[in-house]
Amino acid sequence: MAIDSPLFLLAFDHRSGLVRGLLPGQETRAGELLPDAKQVIYEGAVAGLARSAGGAADAGAGDAVASAARGVAGVLVDEQYGGGVVPRAKAAGLATAVAIEASGQDEFELEYGDDAAAHIAALAPTYAKVLVRCNPGGDATANARQCETLAAVSELVAAGPSDLLFELLVPPTTAQLDSVNGDRDRYDAELRTELTIATIDAFQRAGVQAPLWKLEGFETVAEAEAVSAQAGVPCIVLGRNAPQPRVEHWLAVAAAARGWEGFAIGRSIWWRAIGALIHDGLPRDQAVTEIADGYAQAIDVYLAAEASAAAA
C-alpha cells in the first residue's frame, strides 16, 4: 500500500500486557472478555472517524465508513483476540494491520512459527506488523540474531498479500540510562535519536525491507527527519502510552516532519475505557464514545499540526 496521505491507525494488538494489566488474577477469562473488548475498541474507531475534523463517514448501515478526508483510517489488531475485527474493518474500507510477533518476548519470535505465512494469507491484512526491541548497545549476539531473523521475516511477508510494518522500540541499556542519571526523558531527548538511526541502519544492512516503520516519537522536527531519512520510506509515530501532552507533542512533530505519514496510537486512547468496561460496569456505548473522542482528537491534533506546518 503506497502512503501518500497520513495513515491513522488505532492500535489494539496488545495481548500479554493487556492480560497482565487489565486481568490480574483473572487471566483465564481473557478468551471470554478480550475479543468483545476489542470489538468495542473497533466500534470506537468507526465512531471517532465520523466525528474527527478530517473524518468523512458514510451514514449507511453498520460498518459502512469512508476514510478520513485527509488521510487513511485503519486498525492494528492481533489475531488471538482481535481476529474478528479484521473482516469488519475490511468491509468498512479501513486499512488493516495484524501483529505477527509472539507477544511479550524480549527477542523477536513469529507468533505462529512455520505456520505464520498461512495465518497472514488467511487474514490478508494491509500490513503484517512486527514488534522488535533492539538497541545497538545491547547484546551483540542477540542483535545479530534478530537482524538475521527479521531479514527472513521481511522476505516471508513480501511473498504474501501484505506489506511489512516494522515497529521498532529502542529501550535504553542499563549503561545508557545510568549516563543520564536514570532519567528516561533525558534518554529520549539526548540518546534515542542516534540509537534509532543506527538500529534501522543495522536492520537494513541485514536485508530487512520494510515499506513502513512505526517508531517512537521524537522531540524535534530535525530529529524526526533525521530518522525518516535513514528509513527512506514513510514512518508513523507510536504513543508508548505516554501522558496525553507528550503524545500530542510527538504527533505534532511527526505531522511537521518530512517522511512522516501518520500514527499508530493505542493505550493512550482506549485503556481507561476498556478497564472501566470490564471492571466498573461502564456501559458499552459510553466506552465506545470515550474511545471515539480520543481517536478523533488524535486525528485532529495531527491534521492541525500538519496544516500549521504547511502554512509556515
Cell of 160: 504474501
Tell me which DSSP letter residue 120 carries: H
Using 50, 70 and 90 to split pLDDT, how confident is the model at 56? very low
Say how far apart CA 198 and CA 78 lie, in whole Å: 29
The amino acid that residue 102 corresponds to is: A
Q: Which residues contact 237 (CB under 8 A, 6 or more apart)?
A: 214, 215, 216, 217, 250, 251, 253, 254, 260, 262, 263, 264
H or E element that contains 178: helix 174-179
pLDDT at 57: 44
* Sign of the alpha-carbon torsion through 31, 35, 36, 37: positive
Tell me the pLDDT of the chain averaged across its residues.
Answer: 93
Residue that wins the pLDDT comparison between 13 and 57: 13
pLDDT in tens, 76-134: 999 999 999 999 999 999 999 999 999 999 999 999 999 999 999 999 999 999 999 99
What average pLDDT does range 221-248 have in this prediction?
A: 96
Q: What is the pTM assigned to this prediction? A: 0.93
Q: CA torsion sign, 42 to 127 to 307 to 248?
A: positive
- The pLDDT assigned to 214 comes to 98
Task: Give the up-direction half-sphere exposure of residue 84: CA atoms within 13 A in the CB hemisphere.
Answer: 11
Q: What is the mean pLDDT of residues 253-269?
A: 96
- State the CATH architecture for 7-311: Alpha-Beta Barrel (3.20)
Note the residue count of the chain.
Answer: 312
Q: Give the DSSP H/E element, type plus range, for residue 156.
A: helix 140-158
96: phi then psi, degrees, rounded to nearest 5: -125, 140
Give the mean model confidence (pLDDT) for residues 267-289: 97
Q: How far apart are CA 214 and CA 235, in angstroms?
A: 6
For the residues 293-309, what does the mean pLDDT come to?
Answer: 94
For residue 211, the one-letter residue type is P
Query: Mapping DSSP to helix (H, G, I), strand (E, B) and coil, where does residue 65 land?
Result: coil
pLDDT band at 301 (very low <50, low <70, confident <90, very high): very high
* Rounded distance between C-alpha atoms, residue 284 and residue 262, angstroms: 28
Retrieve residue 165's grid coordinates.
510494518
236: enclosing H helix or E strand: strand 235-238
Specify the pLDDT at position 66: 44
pLDDT at residue 151, as a whole number? 98
C-alpha cell at 250: 510527538
Spatial separation of the C-alpha atoms in residues 312 and 305, rounded to whole Å: 11
Query: What span, in angstroms and rounded, lies between the C-alpha atoms of 214 and 196?
Result: 12
Pick the most confident of 5-9, 238-242, 289-293.
289-293
Query: In the numeric block, which cell numbers belong to residue 69?
Result: 478526508
Maximum distance among all alpha carbons in the chain? 56
CB 208 within 8 A of CB 166: yes
Q: What percent of the chain has pLDDT over 90?
A: 89
What string of DSSP letters covers 71-114?
SEEEEEE-HHHHTTHHHHHHHTT-EEEEE-BPTT-SS--BTTGG
- Delimit the domains of the chain by residue range: 7-311
Q: How do residues 5-39 score in pLDDT, each as one tens digit?
A: 799 999 999 999 999 999 999 999 999 999 999 99
Pairing relation of β-strands 7-11 and 212-215? Answer: unpaired
